[in-house]
Amino acid sequence: MNGYFSQVLVGFPLAAITLLSIQGCSGPALQPWHTESLNAEFTAEKADEIDRFADYRRLEDELFAQLEEGV
């Protein structure tokens, strides 16, 4: 009985992880806006440029303009 319990204890999580990973990888194909490489995104190097919320909004506007141009 003890060996069966340990097999179930190890086997069930392993089967669940396998099933979830297979299911997670079978979704719809990525759209162009998922894979577009953008350089207007906020990074640590740009942190000194952002002092106020308005600065962040300006950066977001540039990002969406770049995304619209790329897609």
CB 38 within 8 A of CB 63: yes
- 42-to-10, 17, 35 alpha-carbon distances in Å: 43, 34, 17
- Summarised one tens digit per residue, pLDDT across range 17-67 is 888 788 777 778 888 888 888 888 888 988 898 899 999 999 999 999 998
| 43-55 pLDDT tens trace | 898 889 889 999 9
pTM: 0.54
- Cα(44)–Cα(55) distance, rounded to whole angstroms? 15
CB 67 within 8 A of CB 36: yes
